[in-house]
Structure formats: structure tokens, C-alpha cells
Amino acid sequence: MQTIIIELTESSSLKYLQDLERKNLIKIVNNNYNSYALAGDNISAEDFKEWIEYTEQQPSVNKIDAKKIWANQKKKLQKIIQ
């Protein structure tokens, strides 16, 4: 499972995502994502340090592998949309 955040630029784009959800290919999660990586309020130096420590403990993905994974996902999504 991969979770991504998408900013929709047109109201019609939500329809396409909902079509994918009806086909059980994606799940639309209605959560409020409070991530320091996203635009928002300023954070303190202490909060920033905690966020970096947390992030460093998370698993990483090789850049080449990540590109292959996303290329495959892109192909799958393009087939579904067409």
C-alpha cells in the first residue's frame, strides 16, 4: 500500500478518482494530514528535530527501484483511465 496526497486542480478530476475507488483500485482517505512536509504553520526547532529523528528511522527506497515502481503504477492507472 502506498499513501499519497493529491491536490485536485479541477472539480472534474475528483470524478476520475471516485471511478477508480468504485473499481476497488484505490481508497480515498478523508483524513486531515498534518505533515511538516506540507505547507502550513511554522514549527519550533524542537518539533523540527523530532520530525527529522522520526523520518530518519523510516525505511528508505532505492531511487532506481522507486522509479520502476512508479512507472508500473503509472501504466496501470493510465490503462484504467482510458
What pLDDT does residue 17 have? Answer: 85
Number of neighbours of residue 29 by Cβ within 10 angstroms:
9
Instruction: Give the model's confidence band at 64: pLDDT under 50 very low, under 70 low, under 90 confident, else very high.
Output: very high
What pLDDT does residue 3 have? Answer: 74
Residues 28, 21 contacting (CB under 8 angstroms) = yes
**pLDDT digits over 5-43, tens only?**
777 777 778 888 888 889 988 888 765 556 666 666 777
pTM: 0.36
